Amino acid sequence: MRKIVVGITGASGSIYAIDLLEKLKSIPDVETHVVISSWAKENIKLETDYELKDVLALADVVYNSKNLGAAIASGSFKTDGMVIVPASMKTVAALSIGYTDNLITRAADVVLKEQRKLILVPRETPLSAIHLENLTKLARLGVHIIPPIPAFYNKPQSLADIITHQSMKILDSLGIEHNFGKRWEGE
């Protein structure tokens, strides 16, 4: 069983996290450990038609974002990686300086120190020089930065197609086999 931690922060774009969780739920050998910040809960209400209880039901294990004693706060709890989707610039900044005042940043810090796979889906535009410096610093540490930038070679027909493509890129980075999304097959 592969254990994947998903942190959902208060940046706009909670639908990306929901889509990823739906896809992970359909993969039998993946167990998800989910942390949702208080602002992410607000964004789920503001940006989607999902009820929080329905999003929580997509997770195998749910943690309170203030619980720094949770299993995922320790390197001795083995995971196969973590995705922060969407990743707020506050979270990116905290990670870039090792500031871990909540379970999302603590779990990510653990993933970094244990040299496991960490993926950030930063959701901000335009990006300031500070944002870019923080993201660059994390990329140099091996963090995969996968911003939600739509591709059009796959001729998306709906917003769902664009969101699925983002989930495809995240699952690919995690090394999880799947058949979601339309891939480039050449000319």
The response to whether 11 counts as a known ligand-binding position is yes
Residues whose CB falls within 8 Å of the CB of residue 135, separated by 6 or more in sequence, listed in order: 92, 96, 120, 122, 127, 145
The response to whether 23 counts as a known ligand-binding position is no
The response to whether 12 counts as a known ligand-binding position is yes
Contact 92, 14 (CB under 8 A): no
Contact 182, 150 (CB under 8 A): no
Contact 102, 69 (CB under 8 A): no
The response to whether 65 counts as a known ligand-binding position is no
The response to whether 91 counts as a known ligand-binding position is yes
The response to whether 183 counts as a known ligand-binding position is no
Number of Cβ within 10 Å of residue 31's Cβ equals 17
The response to whether 123 counts as a known ligand-binding position is yes
Contact 174, 80 (CB under 8 A): yes
| Residue 179 to residue 9: CA distance in whole angstroms | 27
Tokens of 56: 């929580």
Most distant CA atoms of the chain, gap in Å: 52
Q: N- to C-terminal Cα distance for the chain?
A: 38
The response to whether 88 counts as a known ligand-binding position is yes
Please enumerate, by residue number, every residue annotated as part of a binding site.
10-12, 37, 88-91, 123, 153, 169
Please enumerate, by residue number, every residue annotated as part of a binding site for FMN.
10-12, 37, 88-91, 123
Please enumerate, by residue number, every residue annotated as part of a binding site for dimethylallyl phosphate.
153, 169
